[in-house]
């Protein structure tokens, strides 16, 4: 799996958020998209995952030698981000069932295993609307990590997590990020310290 950016730029009205990005993301590697708040990290993150189109440039996706159209790349990726909402009318059990209608479980995983990863056995039938912000963030992360996709994309993964939650997140990285193309959008070193590559959005300001 490779994602290739060629002269990628995105602007808002007449102002360029970033431009001139040439970069390749490869399977089995981990990448951090870095920059201060408001710099455009999440915008680039959304361009890379196909939910936003670049204003200029070409982005291409290749899986096992075959090109994938941007509108279909969602089938190959799992993501978690603060702005992605859970269905709060669902219970935890129903949310897991719903998510895995669209994604396959990673090998050895099923609904019970995901609940165990979350350590939420006592909350399986609780409505998500009554979850704390930290519980919701854990659920978003668990769904992404436990899905069998070649691409794993996480935007501000430890938002709303306490110190214990950060350790839990890093344990998921060790267990579930191996052999995937992992992209972390962050400005918190503890979220991306394991990444082997860094792309700083500030290097692509006009």
DSSP labels, 32-67:
EEE--TTSSHHHHHHHHTTSS--SEEEEEEEETTEE
pLDDT of residue 206: 66
Domain with 61 in it:
2-204
> What are the pLDDT digits (tens) for 56-107?
999 999 998 899 998 899 999 999 998 899 999 999 999 999 999 999 999 9
Q: For 107-133, give one letter per residue: b (16+ CB within 10 A) or e.
A: eebebeebbebbebeebeeeebeebee
In the chain, the number of structural domains is: 1
C-alpha 160, offset from chain centre: 16
In whole numbers, what is the pLDDT of the chain averaged over residues? 95
The structure tokens 């503890």 sit at 190
CATH code, 44? 3.40.50.300
Report how far residue 146's alpha carbon sits from residue 152's, in angstroms, rounded to the nearest whole number.
10
Using CA atoms, how far residue 180 sits from 20, 29, 106, 127, 187, in Å, is 26, 7, 12, 32, 22
Confidence label for 38 from pLDDT (cuts 50, 70 and 90): confident
Mean pLDDT of 6-27: 95
pLDDT of residue 87: 97
pLDDT of residue 114: 98
pLDDT score of 205 more than 90: no
Report yes or no: 202 and 38 within 8 Å, Cβ to Cβ. no
* Residue of 8, 147, 3 whose CA lies nearest to 68: 3
Confidence label for 152 from pLDDT (cuts 50, 70 and 90): very high
pLDDT score of 139 more than 70: yes
Query: Reduced to 3 states, what is the DSSP secondary structure of residue 185?
Result: strand
Q: Euclidean distance between the first and final Cα of the chain, in Å?
A: 30
């Amino acid at each position: 799996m490779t994602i290739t950016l060629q002269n990628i730029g995105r602007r808002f009205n007449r102002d360029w958020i970033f431009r001139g990005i040439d970069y390749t993301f490869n399977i089995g590697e981990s990448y951090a998209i870095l920059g201060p708040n408001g710099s455009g990290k999440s915008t680039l993150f959304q361009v890379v995952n196909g939910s936003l189109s670049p204003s200029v440039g070409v982005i291409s996706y290749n899986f096992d030698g075959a090109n994938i159209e941007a509108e279909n790349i969602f089938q190959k990726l799992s993501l978690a981000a603060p702005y992605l909402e859970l269905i709060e009318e669902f219970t935890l059990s129903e949310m897991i069932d719903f998510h895995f209608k669209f994604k396959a479980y990673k090998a050895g995983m099923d609904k019970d295993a995901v609940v165990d990863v979350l350590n939420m056995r006592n909350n399986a039938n609780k409505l998500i609307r009554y979850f704390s912000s930290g519980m919701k963030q854990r659920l978003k992360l668990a769904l992404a990590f436990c899905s069998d996709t070649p691409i794993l994309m996480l935007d501000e993964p430890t938002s709303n997590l306490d110190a214990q939650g950060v350790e839990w997140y890093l344990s998921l990285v060790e267990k579930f990020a191996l052999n995937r193309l992992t992209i972390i959008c962050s400005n918190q070193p503890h979220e991306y310290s394991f990444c082997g590559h860094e792309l700083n959005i500030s290097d692509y300001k006009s």
